[in-house]
Amino acid sequence: MTRQVKRAFKYRFYPTDEQAAELSRTFGCVRLVYNKALEERTRAWYGEQRRISYVQSSAALTEWKKTAELAFLSEVSSVPSSRRCATFRQRSGISSPSGRSTRGTSRGRSPARRPSTPAAPSHGATGA
């Protein structure tokens, strides 16, 4: 029986004052986007028994950035905010961009579609 060695690494980050301010702004915007998206999903479900997909959440985020009161969302990186919208898709497993369920699969792929490892070439089968 082989024994597997597990390792862990801890990293410490010491941001400059400018970096800390930017991180604080980014995290605040991500929190706001998450809460607004959650509020929209909750309202749609309890009010209309309707689910909101990732595509709809992403479109809503784009619209929120166009409003005067939420225009500051465009000033920070869009990657964390859009990832926050995707978190709903990952947690619920309800709707991926293709409309298929992602629950119980690795990265949304069904077990039958996972890439297989290529077979090793056989030497000597050709008689050479």
Confidence check: pLDDT of 128 > 60: no
| pLDDT cut 70: percent of the chain above it | 62
DSSP 102: -
Of 64 and 119, which is predicted with more confidence?
A: 64
The mean pLDDT of 56-84, rounded to a whole number, is: 85
- Which of 103, 91, 88 is closest to 56 using CA atoms? 88
Residues 6+ apart with CB under 8 A from 20: none
Instruction: For 33-53, write each residue's pLDDT tens digit.
Output: 999 999 999 999 999 999 999
Ordered by start, the domain boundaries in the chain are 17-95
Of 55 and 111, which is predicted with more confidence?
A: 55
The radius of gyration of the chain's CA atoms, rounded to the nearest angstrom, is 22
DSSP 106: B
Question: Which tokens go with 116?
Answer: 């297989």
**Using CA of residue 41, residue 44, residue 49, residue 50, what is the dihedral sign?**
negative
Residue 67 has a pLDDT of 92
Of 27 and 103, which is predicted with more confidence?
A: 27
Query: Which of 3-12, 60-69, 86-95, 105-114 is predicted with the least confidence, judged by mean pLDDT?
Result: 105-114
